[in-house]
Amino acid sequence: MSVSRISSRSRRLNKAQKLSVAGVSTLAAAALAFSLVPNDASATTEPQAASAAAPVAYTGSQAKSLQAGAIEQNSTAEQLVKAADAAKAKDAAEKKKAAAKAAAKAKAVAEAKSEAAAKAKADAKKRAAKKASRAADRKPVYANNLDGWIREALAIMDKKNIPGTYEGLHRNIIRESSGDPRAINNWDINAINGVPSKGLLQVIKPTFDFYHVKGTKHDQYDPVANITAAANYAADKYGSIDNVDSAY
């Protein structure tokens, strides 16, 4: 073999060796990168385990990529927190709005009930007034005679809680004046003293003035005024006009 052939083969072998070394280096780097990813222990080979034990060196681009990933994760976390806070604030605002709406509705219902109650009260007052007016319109008209005077007097006495009956009044009227509303006694001691007895039940002026019943005429000769004043006096002195059977 010539020297030139040996030299050429040596050059070719050196080139192949170089390629083989480069291939091994590439495989080693791939194994190192692969060792960073967790894997099943049974599938890990001894060369890979040896490679994992070696410190990992990152290139500048890899470090920047990792930093960018961390920043992106932090940004995503912050966005999630902000979104949660916004959702919480929105929920609170909606609850507050619903509470205000419910309060307004309750207030409106209460006001409506109050207005309805006030209206019902006013209507009841109007009905009572109308009823009273009708009752006034239906005020009985008493005859202008002894029977009518006694009945009218009894109605007034009933309102004023003055005791007495038709029979008691009628009996004493007949005895005292025979039913004459203008009757006057000019001969007894009262007449001598200047205060004669007058009217249906022969009442003197001081007694009439003291026992006069409000709502009747202030006139001794008025039949109804005379009867009610005399009955009021008899109730005070004897318990009732019914208990009087003689001069009183």
pLDDT at 51: 46
Higher per-residue pLDDT: 11 or 129: 129
Q: Where are the domains of the chain?
A: 89-139, 146-243
Mean pLDDT score of the chain: 80
- State phi, psi for 54 to the nearest 5 degrees: -75, 145
Top mean-pLDDT range of 37-41, 114-118, 163-167: 163-167
pLDDT at 135: 67
- Asked whether the predicted pLDDT for residue 176 surpasses 60, the reply is yes
The token pair at 32 is: 């190192």
Q: What is the pTM of this model?
A: 0.48
Q: If you average pLDDT over residues 25-34, what whole number do you get?
A: 42
Residues with Cβ within 8 Å of 6's Cβ and at least 6 positions away in sequence, in order, are: none
pLDDT at 159: 96
Q: Which residues pair with 198 in a beta bridge?
A: 184, 203
Q: If you average pLDDT over residues 134-160, what whole number do you get?
A: 91
- Asked whether the predicted pLDDT for residue 18 surpasses 50, the reply is no
| N-term to C-term CA, the chain | 186
Lowest mean pLDDT among 14-28, 93-107, 155-169: 14-28
Lowest mean pLDDT among 7-11, 134-138, 233-237: 7-11
Q: Assess contact for 183 and 199: CB atoms under 8 A.
A: yes
Residues 84-143 pLDDT 10s: 898 999 989 999 989 998 999 999 999 999 989 999 999 999 888 888 777 666 779 999
- Dihedral sign from CA coordinates of 102, 107, 113, 119: negative
